[in-house]
């Protein structure tokens, strides 16, 4: 996900597994790492692509696609919910006001 750190690993099937490796993106050299691990801090959409690595005397890895997705955005409540919330607050207030006015008028006419 965009904004996260991503670590790419280049390992051999035979010991030792963590040998120096050269990393490539879309066929272009990025950098060499002594432990066979490369971390992208933090990833963006521009980091999306086809990655591979090479360990000397072991050869090149098959390419792997790295997808970077956008972080989820918080959603506002649907308009129907907002209307319902307003009605739940307004209706009791309106009804109690009508009752108070009705009681006041009823008392005023009795006197």
pLDDT of residue 61: 93
The reply to whether 99 falls in a domain is: yes
Domain boundaries, position 106: 75-111
Q: How many distinct structural domains can be found in the chain?
A: 2
Does residue 99 or residue 79 have the better pLDDT? 99
Do the domain assignments include residue 88? yes
Is the pLDDT at 90 greater than 90? The verdict is: no
Task: Please tell me the distance from the alpha carbon of residue 43 to that of residue 6, in angstroms, as a whole number.
Answer: 7
Domain-located, residue 1: no
Count Cα neighbours of 8 within 13 Å in the Cβ-side half-sphere. 31
Residues in the chain: 111
Q: Is the pLDDT of residue 49 over 70?
A: yes
Q: Is the pLDDT of residue 53 over 70?
A: yes
Q: Are residues 81 and 62 in the same domain?
A: no
Domain match, 10 and 62 both: yes
Q: Is the pLDDT of residue 50 over 90?
A: yes
Residue with tokens 């992208």: 40
Q: Is the pLDDT of residue 110 over 70?
A: no
Q: Residue 2 pLDDT more than 90?
A: yes
CATH number at 34 reads 2.60.40.10
């Amino acid at each position: 996900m965009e904004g996260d750190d991503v670590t790419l690993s280049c390992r051999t099937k035979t010991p030792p597994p963590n040998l120096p490796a050269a990393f490539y993106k879309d066929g272009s050299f990025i950098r060499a790492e002594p432990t066979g691990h490369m971390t992208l801090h933090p990833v963006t959409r521009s980091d999306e692509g086809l990655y591979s690595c090479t360990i000397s005397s072991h050869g090149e890895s098959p390419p792997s696609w790295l997808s970077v997705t956008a972080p989820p955005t918080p959603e506002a409540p649907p308009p129907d919910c907002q209307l319902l919330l307003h009605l739940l607050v307004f209706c009791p207030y309106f009804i109690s006001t009508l009752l108070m006015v009705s009681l006041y008028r009823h008392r005023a006419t009795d006197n």
